């Protein structure tokens, strides 16, 4: 029975899944980070381990493709070396692409369209036949507007205005301080400079709660986030080009967990895009995206 292996390689873990031709899971493997730019040897070891686990007792000869998506793969100097190692080890066809490409294929089932992602960061990936375009994805110092981290930093900036202008602290500021266990706005410096971005981004839940309770400041921040993500997606649409219809897939915790952002986002785009939009918002493991991509080529 022929099968393909999809690999989702990240900065902390590598997940490999073997799929039969119909996309059913045959085996799964997990290992450490696969960030080859950080440590090529160790990352390669993890990738091999995860694939071997996923392969289990499946006949090597039936493996028709290994499709590997890894973070920041465009920058890898020794991508060819990595591909050769995998070919030597598994005697099959191998592709190595950026992790955003397999994420796109996972949500859009390998079809053309745009995938907008907003989690800790924010990026849009557009694919049409062989054309691939990106907007956003500039990271937290330069961009990522509309991401979870950005939303919290916007809320912090509001608190800073209140502190610097000696205004009374608003409800959003007070609830954020309470959540962090602080009383003085000055303490957010400690928080913002010592915590990981993903942890800071989690304070989004406070902004969301206050917005849903009707606070105008929190509501404005979430509206703004939706518009920023809408703008990023619209820029991607323009780069990609579209005709009678466009498919937009949504991924990441922000679209899923913050209804006011999703609403503002869809409103922005429906005013910009004049053709019907097919929305896809389903969770699908990135490895399955690798399956869709491999299936096209097997």
**In this chain, which of 58, 160, 169, 174 binds its own copies, going by CB under 8 A?**
160
The residue among 53 and 235 lying less far from its own copies, judged by its C-beta, is 235
Which of 65, 156, 242, 265 contacts its own copies by CB under 8 A?
156
The Cα 284–Cα 9 span in angstroms is 15
Q: Name the minimum Å distance from CB 157 to its own copies.
A: 7
**Cβ at position 160, least distance to its own copies in Å:** 6
Taking a C-beta distance cutoff of 8 angstroms, is the pair 224, 154 a contact? yes
Site string for its own copies, 233-262 (x = CB under 8 A): --x--xx-----------------------
Q: Which is nearer to its own copies, 193 or 283 (CB)?
A: 193
- Check residue 192 for interaction with its own copies (CB under 8 A): yes
Helices (DSSP H) in the chain: which residue ranges?
40-55, 79-90, 99-107, 139-142, 148-164, 171-180, 188-194, 197-201, 204-212, 216-240, 253-257, 259-272, 286-297
* Longest CA–CA separation in the chain, Å: 71
CB of 113 to its own copies, least distance (A): 18
Among 188, 203, 217, 225, binds its own copies (CB under 8 A): 188
Q: How far is Cα 66 from Cα 77, in angstroms, rounded to an integer? A: 20
Instruction: Report which DSSP code applies to 29.
Output: E
Q: Which of residues 96-155 bind its own copies (CB under 8 A)?
A: 135-136, 138-143, 153
Instruction: Report the candidate in 202, 286, 271, 183 with the shortest Cα–Cα distance to residue 231.
Output: 271
Tokens 């309770």 found at: 213
DSSP category for residue 137 = -
Only one of the segments 77-85, 188-196, 213-221, 247-255 lies at the binding site for its own copies (rule: CB under 8 A); that segment is 188-196
Residues that bind its own copies (CB under 8 A): 135-136, 138-143, 153, 156-157, 160, 164-166, 188-189, 192-193, 232, 235, 238-239
């Amino acid at each position: 029975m022929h099968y393909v292996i999809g690999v989702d390689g990240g900065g902390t873990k590598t997940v490999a899944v073997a799929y039969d031709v119909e996309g059913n899971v045959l085996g799964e493997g997990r290992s450490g980070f696969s960030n080859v730019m950080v440590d090529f040897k160790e990352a390669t070891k993890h990738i091999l381990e995860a694939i071997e686990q996923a392969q289990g007792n499946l006949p090597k000869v039936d493996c028709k493709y290994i499709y590997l998506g890894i973070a920041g793969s465009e920058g890898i100097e020794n991508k060819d070396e990595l591909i050769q190692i995998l070919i030597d080890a598994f005697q099959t066809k191998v592709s190595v692409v950026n992790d955003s490409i397999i994420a796109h294929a996972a949500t859009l089932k390998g079809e053309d369209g745009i995938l907008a992602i907003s989690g800790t960061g924010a990026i849009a990936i557009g694919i049409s036949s062989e054309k691939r375009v990106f907007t956003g994805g500039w990271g937290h110092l330069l961009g990522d507007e509309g991401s979870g981290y950005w939303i919290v930093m916007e809320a912090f900036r509001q608190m800073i205005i209140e502190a610097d202008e000696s205004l009374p602290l608003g409800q959003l500021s007070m609830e954020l301080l309470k959540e962090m266990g602080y009383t003085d706005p000055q303490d957010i410096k400690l928080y913002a400079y010592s915590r990981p971005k993903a942890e800071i981004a989690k304070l989004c839940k406070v902004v969301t709660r206050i917005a849903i309770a009707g606070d105008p400041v929190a509501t404005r921040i979430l509206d703004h986030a939706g518009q920023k993500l809408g703008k990023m997606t619209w820029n991607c649409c323009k780069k990609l080009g579209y005709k009678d219809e466009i498919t937009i897939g949504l991924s990441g915790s922000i679209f899923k967990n913050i209804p006011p952002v999703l609403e503002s986002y869809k409103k922005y785009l429906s005013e910009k895009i004049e053709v019907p939009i097919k929305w896809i918002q389903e969770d699908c493991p990135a490895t399955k995206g690798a399956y869709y991509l491999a299936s096209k080529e097997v």
